[in-house]
Amino acid sequence: MSEIGPGSLDLAAAVLAHRRSAEELAVEDATSARRRNAVKTAALLVLPIFWVASQIFGTSRQISPPK
């Protein structure tokens, strides 16, 4: 989990929800920068979902992206 403001974001679920990021992490010879960028991309793509859910449910809930 990563803290984002008063809530938290499940980065593992975000990566699994973004197929390209999951594929990048599965590459055996991927550099640490490549892996880090895959996780950042997944997190950035899920942030709008996180924001909308926080507006609907309040900011103290844990948000995971849809599977």
Residue 5 has pLDDT above 70, yes or no: no
Q: Which two tokens stand for residue 15?
A: 């990566």
Prediction pTM value: 0.64
Question: What pLDDT, in 10s, does the model give residues 25-47?
Answer: 999 999 999 999 999 998 888 87
Buried b / exposed e along 29-42 (16+ C-beta atoms within 10 A): eeeeeeeeebbebb
User: Which comes out higher in pLDDT, residue 21 or 63?
Assistant: 21
Q: Is the pLDDT of residue 66 over 60?
A: no
Percent of the residues in the chain that have a pLDDT greater than 70, as a whole number: 66
Q: Where are the domains of the chain?
A: 2-63
